[in-house]
Amino acid sequence: MENTNRFSIKDWAEDDRPQERLLRLGASALSLSELLAIILRSGTAEESAVDLAKRILLGVKNDLSALGKLSAKDLQKNYKGIGQAKAAMIVATLELGKRRSESASREKILMNNSRRAFDYLYARMADLSHEEAWVLLLNNSNHLIEAKQIGKGGLTETLVDTRIVLKLALDALATKVILCHNHPSGCLRPSRADIQMTERLRKALQAVDIILVDHLILGENG
Q: What is the pLDDT of residues 126-162, one digit of tens each?
A: 777 788 889 999 999 899 988 998 988 754 456 788 9
Write down the pTM of the prediction: 0.52
**Residue spans in the chain of domains classed CATH 1.10.150:** 9-99
Is there a contact between 187 and 156 (Cβ–Cβ < 8 Å)? Answer: no
Question: In the prediction, which pLDDT does 80 show?
Answer: 93
Question: In the prediction, which pLDDT does 3 show?
Answer: 47
Is there a contact between 180 and 134 (Cβ–Cβ < 8 Å)? Answer: yes
What dihedral angle (degrees, nearest 10) is formed by the CA atoms of 138, 144, 148, 151? 60
Question: In the prediction, which pLDDT does 8 show?
Answer: 59
* Nearest one of 92, 126, 120 to 105, comparing CA atoms: 120
CATH 1.10.150 assigned to 9-99 = yes
**Residue spans in the chain of domains classed CATH 3.40.140.10:** 110-218
What is the enclosing helix (H) or strand (E) of 123? Answer: helix 114-125
Helix-then-strand count for the chain, H and E: 9, 4
Question: In the prediction, which pLDDT does 2 show?
Answer: 43
Is there a contact between 197 and 160 (Cβ–Cβ < 8 Å)? Answer: yes
Residues of the chain with pLDDT below 50 are 1-5, 155-156, 222
Strand pairing category for 144-152 and 176-182: unpaired
Average pLDDT of the chain is 84
Output DSSP code: residue 213. E
User: 110-218 maps to which CATH number?
Assistant: 3.40.140.10
Question: In the prediction, which pLDDT does 120 show?
Answer: 86
Question: In the prediction, which pLDDT does 105 show?
Answer: 55
29 C-beta neighbours (distance < 10 Å), count: 10
Question: In the prediction, which pLDDT does 152 show?
Answer: 82
Question: In the prediction, which pLDDT does 4 show?
Answer: 46
Residues composing the chain = 222
